[in-house]
Structure formats: structure tokens, C-alpha cells
Amino acid sequence: MSDPAAAPVEAPEVRHAGPVLGPLARWTAVAGGALTVLIALAVTASVLKRWATGGGIDGDFELVQIGTALAAFCFLPYCQARRGNIVVDTFTNALPARVRNTLDGLWDLVLAALVALMAWRLFVGAAEAFRTGTTSMVLGIQAGYAVAASAVLLALLAVTAAATAVMAIRGGR
């Protein structure tokens, strides 16, 4: 009998977003994971430095804030591509599959529209941050870069939600 723990682990399927958006969402999530690891290493280094010398890494909290926000935005398109968001379908379970898929698709379109609105406003915020030269308090990191990256990631989420809506309405879940 084979050991299930020894079986190769395959990446979950992201067919709901299509052949281009699926892999893009996957690699964006991988980047978010790498960023999370870097954040953990920075926190560990800062804590060890604080323990050893009495003072941590300057601006460590800024790095954690920016990195955590970007990492969270990195995971959202992948979650949507896998249809991994929370779905409350208590009363729709009794409906025919075609109706359920259409409802799911319509809600994905609502998500796409709302996220596109947020991405647009973040693009406006990034432009304003660049215009005013807004920086972080300790390290002086230009805030516009983080806001612009967040806007791009939300735009990717909006496009992914639109793609999953089309797939759902066409009959896939």
C-alpha cells in the first residue's frame, strides 16, 4: 500500500479563471507567499536584534504594514480563481445547477464591479501620494508605490472575478 504522505502534492486547479488568468493568479499568490516569508524573517531579525542589543530594526513596523497589505492583495485573485471565497448557498442548493451557476456568476460580476471601483480609487490615491510626496514616517518609503501595487492587484482581482463570472454563467462552477 502506498503512503499518501509520500504522494506528490499538486497545485489546486484554477481552471475557473482561464488559461492566462489562472497561472497569473497562481504566481501572484506565490509572490504573496514569498513576501509573507520575508515579512516573517524581518520580524524575526528585528526581535533577535532587540533581544541582543536592546533595539530592533528601524521601521520594522512599516515593513510589516506594507508587506502584509501587499501579501493579502496577492492572495485574493488566486482565491477567486479557485472559487475559494466564502459562499452562502443555504437556499440555492435546492435550485437547478444552471440557476445556481447563473446566480454565482451574477454575484461574481457584482464583486468585479466593486473591486474595480476600489482599484480605481487606489489608482487615484497612488497618483495623489506621488504628487504630494507622501512617505512613511521612519524609513521614508514612498507610499505611492505600495498604493499603486495594491491597485494593480485589485485590478487583477476584478478581471479574475469577471472571468469566473463568465465561466459560471456558461455553466462551469
Neighbours of 150 (CB within 10 A): 22
CA 42 to chain centre: 21
pLDDT, tens digit (0-9, with 9 covering 90-100), for 23-69: 999 999 999 999 999 999 999 999 999 999 999 999 999 999 999 99
Prediction pTM value? 0.86
pLDDT, tens digit (0-9, with 9 covering 90-100), for 95-118: 898 998 899 899 999 999 999 999
What angle do helix axes 143-169 and 18-53 make, rounded to 10 degrees? 140
Q: How confident is the model at residue 18 (pLDDT cuts 50, 70, 90)?
A: confident
> How many residues are present in the chain?
173
Domain boundaries along the sequence of the chain: 15-85+95-169
Q: How far apart are the first and last CA of the chain?
A: 34
**Secondary-structure breakdown of the chain: helix, strand, coil percentages, each rounded to the nearest 5:** 75, 0, 25
* Rounded-to-10 torsion of CA 162, 33, 40, 148: -40
pLDDT, tens digit (0-9, with 9 covering 90-100), for 117-157: 999 999 999 999 999 999 999 999 999 999 999 999 999 99
With the C-alpha atoms ordered 38, 118, 161, 144, is the resulting torsion angle positive or negative?
Answer: negative
Angstrom distance (rounded) from CA 119 to CA 123: 6
Name residue, grid cell 488566486.
78
